[in-house]
A and B are shown apart, each in its own frame.
Chain A
């Protein structure tokens, strides 16, 4: 549904987005990550046709956004980063206006307003003026606007920003449910959100895509991902270390002991034997008759991957 090819955006001499290429299919939810100023919002503004790219192509459902903007925009629901709403209207008036702009008329407008008010928990404020809403409610009102025409493509710039924990949860569930039938791209700074909701994640740094894959694939890139931690009792640290080190699939082994317990961390010899390492360690433990109370595989944390990929650049940018 969303096809982006070699997208570039320059602001004066500065390249805010540099050669970004990706696609989002129907049924996919793409999480868009990156440090502040990486170019997420700029990319989304080009996706939605707010401004044209310096070069590159965007197609929504087969319609080029520059050549056929109206047809492309009809398919999109968009939540801008600042969640702007017309503040001189009531919530109901604002949503009705958006519905009408999206081509609904008559009773369909009232139905759509009631539907999204239910989904976004706005029933209580429908008659309130937008400029008296709290930040979270304003954000939800703008989110409601983005789904009022049940679009096939959703572009959400930080949809859970400013929401309380309950609302964050509700909005994530809503996105996940809608993701079954739509193509969704959303940006966020909350990494757990990506794991909870996305089928794929993309990390962008200073305008360039630096990682793109399923959350599991990205996590596997973390340092120490795939290593196995074991804690045994009543056995000498040296013995544990040498036995573990002799396993075929094991690479480096580090041990530390405290009181009676020995904690060992085994790294795989190479990345492709992950599953086998845990199995081999478990078999060894049973064979040796070690008493143990912990045995698990490190999955790797998205935080670590994010920091490893983006931190060096941030530091460099600060230095020069």
Chain B
């Protein structure tokens, strides 16, 4: 049974991933991702000015904002396109469980994002060359960045099941992800504590990706943060399955 599930997930993921690379969109996406990464790191991040060739701040610091638009753009079509073209009927009458299809699509897009992220390696190489950055912190940063992308992507998978319109799916996803940043962004929380009780600010901030992502950036890999990202993904993907079921039950 399990091997059947794995097989189905792999088949769906393979088709989806090939779909990315068969269209120019993938290459455009990767180029934009790399350009923006470079721009943020070297221009805004002040990579050269900091003096210490540490990767964490200038490089990973921007990822929550970069992903805010790029991840919804990559994932918005996953379900809405199936709904719009009617292939949803084909897919869900094949001998697969809905959760297998959801996981398959999610993994395909996540792998695609991972490939894009891996292509930023020249930045790391530069840092290695210029100084002696903390290898452990760099690995932790990449891990956190990947998990962050996965969390955003799971949200996008969910919003794309809600509508047959990709643009609406994109907007909904950006709004939700923006909240996930905002609720725990230091600039916001430091202001919020002036008029709201500490515990409230902290509780809301705990739902945010920021404090968890910050830990990875500092090179700290904690179980708590891993659990957070995995929970966001599981919750969003589970909600997707509920949405798909209700959609068909209507």
Enumerate chain A interface residues (CB-CB to B < 8 A). Answer: 11, 45, 48-52, 69-71, 73-74, 76, 78, 80, 82, 84-89, 93, 97-98, 100-103, 142, 145
Q: Which residues of A contact B15 (CB under 8 A)?
A: 86, 89, 97
- Assess A84 versus B249: contact at CB under 8 Å? Given A48-B93, A73-B93, A103-B95: no
Interface-lining segment among B83-91, B108-116, B145-153: B83-91
B131 interface residue per 8 A CB criterion: no
Shortest Cβ-Cβ A-B pairs, 9 listed? A84-B86, A51-B248, A73-B95, A48-B93, A84-B87, A82-B86, A74-B95, A80-B89, A100-B11
How far does the Cβ of A287 sit from chain B's closest Cβ, in whole Å? 64
- Assess A80 versus B23: contact at CB under 8 Å? Given A70-B97, A97-B15, A101-B8: no
How far does the Cβ of A142 sit from chain B's closest Cβ, in whole Å? 8
Inter-chain contact B86/A50, CB cutoff 8 Å: no
Inter-chain contact B94/A73, CB cutoff 8 Å: yes
- Assess A88 versus B19: contact at CB under 8 Å? Given A102-B94, A103-B95: yes
Pick the contact of B89 from A45, A69, A98 — CB < 8 Å? A45
How far does the Cβ of A149 sit from chain B's closest Cβ, in whole Å? 9
In the bound complex, CA of A71 to CA of B4 (Å): 12
Inter-chain contact A78/B93, CB cutoff 8 Å: yes
Inter-chain contact A84/B11, CB cutoff 8 Å: no
Inter-chain contact A76/B249, CB cutoff 8 Å: no
In the bound complex, CA of A191 to CA of B134 (Å): 76
In the bound complex, CA of A74 to CA of B94 (Å): 7
Within 8 A of A (CB), among B128-165: none
Within 8 A of A (CB), among B22-63: 22-23
Q: Which residues of B contact A80 (CB under 8 A)?
A: 86, 89-90, 93
Q: Which residues of A contact B23 (CB under 8 A)?
A: 88
B250 interface residue per 8 A CB criterion: yes
Q: Which residues of B contact A74 (CB under 8 A)?
A: 95
Chain B residue, CB-CB nearest to A129:
B22
Inter-chain contact B22/A88, CB cutoff 8 Å: yes
Inter-chain contact A50/B248, CB cutoff 8 Å: yes
B96 interface residue per 8 A CB criterion: yes
Pick the contact of A49 from B19, B87, B93 — CB < 8 Å? B93
Q: Which residues of B contact A97 (CB under 8 A)?
A: 11, 15
Inter-chain contact B89/A87, CB cutoff 8 Å: no
Inter-chain contact A86/B89, CB cutoff 8 Å: no
Q: Which residues of B contact A48 (CB under 8 A)?
A: 93
Q: Which residues of A contact B119 (CB under 8 A)?
A: none
Inter-chain contact B95/A84, CB cutoff 8 Å: no
Inter-chain contact B93/A70, CB cutoff 8 Å: no
- Extra A-B contacts (12), CB below 8 Å, given A51-B250, A89-B19, A89-B22: A49-B93, A50-B89, A50-B248, A52-B248, A78-B93, A80-B90, A86-B19, A98-B94, A100-B11, A101-B96, A102-B95, A142-B90
In the bound complex, CA of A44 to CA of B35 (Å): 50
B200 interface residue per 8 A CB criterion: no
In the bound complex, CA of A250 to CA of B250 (Å): 56
Between-chain CB contacts (< 8 Å), 20 pairs: A11-B250, A45-B89, A49-B92, A50-B92, A51-B248, A70-B95, A70-B97, A73-B93, A73-B94, A73-B95, A74-B95, A80-B89, A86-B19, A86-B87, A88-B19, A101-B11, A101-B95, A101-B96, A102-B95, A103-B95
Counting chain B CB atoms within 10 Å of each CB, which of A78, A88, A98 scores highest? A88
Q: Which residues of A contact B93 (CB under 8 A)?
A: 48-50, 73, 76, 78, 80
How far does the Cβ of B188 sit from chain A's closest Cβ, in whole Å? 41
Chain A residue, CB-CB nearest to B20:
A88
Q: Which residues of A contact B250 (CB under 8 A)?
A: 11, 51
In the bound complex, CA of A145 to CA of B91 (Å): 12
In the bound complex, CA of A234 to CA of B89 (Å): 66
How far does the Cβ of A202 sit from chain B's closest Cβ, in whole Å? 21
Chain B residue, CB-CB nearest to A142:
B90
How far does the Cβ of B190 sit from chain A's closest Cβ, in whole Å? 47
Q: Which residues of A contact B96 (CB under 8 A)?
A: 70, 101
How far does the Cβ of B166 sit from chain A's closest Cβ, in whole Å? 14
How far does the Cβ of B245 sit from chain A's closest Cβ, in whole Å? 9
